[in-house]
Structure 1
Amino acid sequence: MTSSAARVLIIAGSDSGGGAGIQADIKAVTAMGGYAATAITAITVQNTLGVQDVHPLPLDLIEAQARAVLDDIGADAIKTGMLGSVEVVERVAAILDSADVPAVVDPVMIAKGGHPLLPDAAVGAVRRLMVPRAALLTPNAPEAEALTGVPVADLDGQRRAGEALLALGARAVLMKGGHVPGETVVDLLLTPSGETVLEGERVETRHTHGTGCTLASACAAGLAKGLPLEVAVAEAWAYVAEAIRRAPGLGQGHGPLDHGWPLREARR
């Protein structure tokens, strides 16, 4: 298997509406030139109006999916999303240890419509087990606040929360700024050697469902291709920004992004 295969194992929940979760992850990895394989943690019943139901899958089935992929296809990076319980967090942490490839950890806690996807009891498990295993952690402001207790209302708050997450063991943290007020969106990439500011226009749209899933998976595809972290993040950030601008306007609520725009551009 050559490094150009850019194999990404995605461990996350399924979104029946296709805008977030495993479905968004597969689209993003493919658009960024990678190969996506999956281990589904839960089946959600949802659309652009919100999450209607969540059905967690058995622990052994989650692990069996991951092991089947790793034992045969392999992975150059792993992306984790919705885990949903302490027990799943513990099982996925063990999978990350055995796989020994870079992990992009998206600490999914709440769906776009407000439905909780991670119980409070599992936040500590994510802090203890997932954060130290992250080659890149990609929290939004509420997730960073839950993990660190640091208020995130501006760039300084993003920086302080990101530094706290580095202190907890993450090798790099991409502090997403979509929830932080301002005329522009500012994301902050922090590593032990410094920080990089990613700033762009704030598009006035309700069609941002799955933005976090998409960004994390695009970053994972870049790492799977062997790109330096800063390059992988910058390329993923630019991809997501354009996907938001090109959002197709589907649904009556928070609609999906245009995940496939690079593929159409390549055919021109």
Structure 2
Amino acid sequence: MPDTQDPEAPDAAQRGTIDRLRSKLRTLYHGQSAKALRFQTIILVLDLAIIAFFIATPLLRNSETFLWIDYSIAALLALDLLARGLAASHPARWLRQLPVIIDIFILVTLLAPTWLFNLGFLRILRLWTLTRTSLVWRPLEKRGLGEYRETIQAVINLLVFIFVVTGFVYTAFAHRESGIAGYVDALYFTVTTMTTTGFGDIILPGTFGKLTAIVVMIIGISLFVRLAQLIFRPAKVTFPCPQCGLKRHDPDAVHCKACGHLLNIPDEGEG
């Protein structure tokens, strides 16, 4: 009896399985159901724990369990990247995004911690890439705190910059004639330089050290000014103007400042 089995059937079944997996992952990563929100909360907590490990890495690298934790985090990050890639509507386009490229670089440093140890301070950029996803902002928006998104982002940008610079200073200048004998010294130098306090007890040697301090001061002051503007500026609400699209308005605004269109901003107590 001739074999009438369709040779393309196994491939079709495999594609169907992959499509179902992608659909499930998309629901978990981007859905609004109770199950999806629990999953997103777990991912967020794990990410925050990983970031805490990255911050503490200079203090833990000599411990016996450091490599075990490092490779375990690499496995978790690899699984997360694979899952997010499958959940993306356009994986190739997703793969070219800067936060994804940074996460892949972080994964490489985790897989080769000995060879790339001097670049390990860049792992804290994971905190910045995390804020490029909805995992951080969705819980805030559900609690009516979405208006603080810019302020929180400014705080995170400042923290990321502080720890990146601290890691760089510790890696490049520790144990030289700079007074930096440990990670806390590097953190102390970074904060005093950013705030232009300049006690002078720690000075980076050479021209490269001076240029590093100049860059830290310029960028640090800019980040501080940006954060201060967001904290002390008059309170605004997010309500896109139907005519011109301006999003930020005074809470009691009746007309749009940009185009004069009549607004209907709901009170905080309104559902």
Relative to the length of structure 1, the TM-score reads 0.25
Decide which structure has greater helix share. 2
Relative to the length of structure 2, the TM-score reads 0.24
Larger radius of gyration: 2
